[in-house]
Structure formats: C-alpha cells, structure tokens
Amino acid sequence: MSKNSAVIVHEDAEVLAEAVAARLVNRLADAQAHRGEAAVVLTGGRIAAKMYGHVLTSRFKGIVDWSKVDFWWGDERFLPSGDADRNETQARDAFLDALPVDPERVHPMPAADVVDTPEAAATVYSAELDAAAGGAGVPPFDLVLLGIGEDGHVASLFPGDPALEVTEESVTGVRESPKPPPERVTLTMPTINAASEVWIIASGSGKAEAVDEALAERRLPAGLVQARDRTQWLVDADAAANLKHLQL
C-alpha cells in the first residue's frame, strides 16, 4: 500500500454506514472551512444508501452548509430520468431531497430520455465538469465515494473493459457492462484519481476476495485508485476477512 492509503475496518455494515456518514459530514465541513464550498462525487449501492440515510440522522449534519455543496456522480446507469435503478434516483430518495441543497449544484449524469446514447451523455457531463472548473477540465473534488464490485470494479470501470483504458477524457460511455444494464456512463480513472480524497466502501463477505486482490496486486480497477492526497478503504469485518495476511 502507498503511504497515503489506509484500510479502516468496522464491526459490521451498520457501523460502517454510520461511521462513513460521520466522516462525510466532517470532510465536507472541513472543505468549506478551507474553500467556502465543497464538492463530493456520489456512488450508488446498498451500503451507500444506508450511509446517506445516516447523514440525515447525524446530529452533526448542521455543521455543513448544504447549499454550498456540489454533488456529482461517479457513474450512472443509462436509464430514463427517475428510474429506480439510477444512482441519482437512489441518492435523491435516500438523502438529497431531505437536505437544503441548491438544485443548481446537484449535477446528475444525463438520462436516457434526455440524450440518445451513453457517449452523448458522457460528452454533456464532460462539458459540465469543464464549465464548473472554469475550463480546466475537472473541478476540485474534495471527495469521491466509490463502491467496489465482487469483480473489483469501481464506478462503471470493469476489468478488461475499454473504458478502463480511457485517459484523455474525463467521462466515457460504457456499452457492454457485464453487470446490467449494459449501457452506462462513468468518470474515467484519471478523473477519479484527480480528487483530493477517494473512499472505497465495501461491505459483506462477497467483496472480501476483490478487496484483498485489489490491495495486494493493484491490477483490478479498484486497485488502480490513487487519490491525489489520500485514499481510504472503509470496510466492514466481512469485507476485510481475507486481509489478515496483509500488512495494513
């Protein structure tokens, strides 16, 4: 592991979700203390939804000025607006709709009823990122949240998929995802790694092999994640079950 990486193991999924929620609130508050605003890239999945729910019940959520947070997404299923399987829909239902956010600072990836193809969605989102960055390509992300799949994928960057090799674009379309739906939109690995911090969140024994392999060999997509300042693996005991032979 590199010197700016760490693995933090929590007792179970519920403790993990609550702990990450507390970390998220503090990270956004710290960013606002330094910059006056904050930017976070959201992820999907069950553990993320559980974590977002804990943000709402956190007694510290008031330390964040939610109207000065930019919300982006790391990837999205190329489905119509409001579809229950879209990461945007899940995040809105879990916590965004209950927070005093500025709608102009919520940046979902274009849906399938707005543009015709994943590539078109990627082009639109890339332009939105560039505009937010004042023409510099990608705005300063204080934090990127990622889940990890059982195959070691992060965002919609799957092992062996051409999207994983894209380096000249900030966002790319995915046509043949091994996990349904096949059409998706995702930030590229250089965009993810440009963030100040990245947190990879993993829960359950089904993730244990991927977590171990990604940390040990650095060949899976998750193992290629290396944030500019700090990369944290936030896992529960089941997801960490295969890590006992590693020096963390």
Residue 139, both tokens: 């705005």
pLDDT more than 70, % of the chain:
97
Strand 38-42, strand 69-73: pairing: parallel
CA proximity to 5, closest of 221, 227, 201, 181: 227
Q: How far apart are CA 7 and CA 215, in angstroms?
A: 9
Residue 200 tokens read as: 């990879």
State the pLDDT at residue 218.
Answer: 77
Q: How confident is the model at residue 248 (pLDDT cuts 50, 70, 90)?
A: very low
The top-level CATH class assigned to 5-236 is: alpha beta
Q: Answer whether 5's CB lies under 8 Å from 228's CB.
A: no
pLDDT in tens, 33-92: 999 999 999 999 999 999 999 999 999 999 999 999 999 999 999 999 999 999 999 999
- Mapped onto helix, strand or coil, the DSSP state of residue 231 is strand
Q: Where are the domains of the chain?
A: 5-236
Helices marked H in the chain: 13-35, 46-57, 87-94, 118-132, 189-193, 208-217
Instruction: Quick: pLDDT tens for 186-235.
Output: 999 999 999 999 999 999 999 999 999 999 887 899 999 999 999 999 99
> pLDDT, tens digit, for every residue of 142-170?
999 999 999 999 999 999 999 999 999 99
More confident call, 2 vs 68? 68
Say which residues have a Cβ less than 8 Å from residue 219's Cβ, sequence separation at least 6. 213
pTM for the full model?
Answer: 0.95
pLDDT at position 219? 87
Across 21-30, average pLDDT? 98
Burial 218-246 (b: 16+ CB within 10 A, else e): eebbbbbbebeebbbbbbbbbbbbbbeee
Mean per-residue pLDDT for 17-39?
A: 98
Is the pLDDT at 245 greater than 60, yes or no?
Answer: no
* pLDDT tens for each residue of 107-117: 999 999 999 99
SS3 169: coil
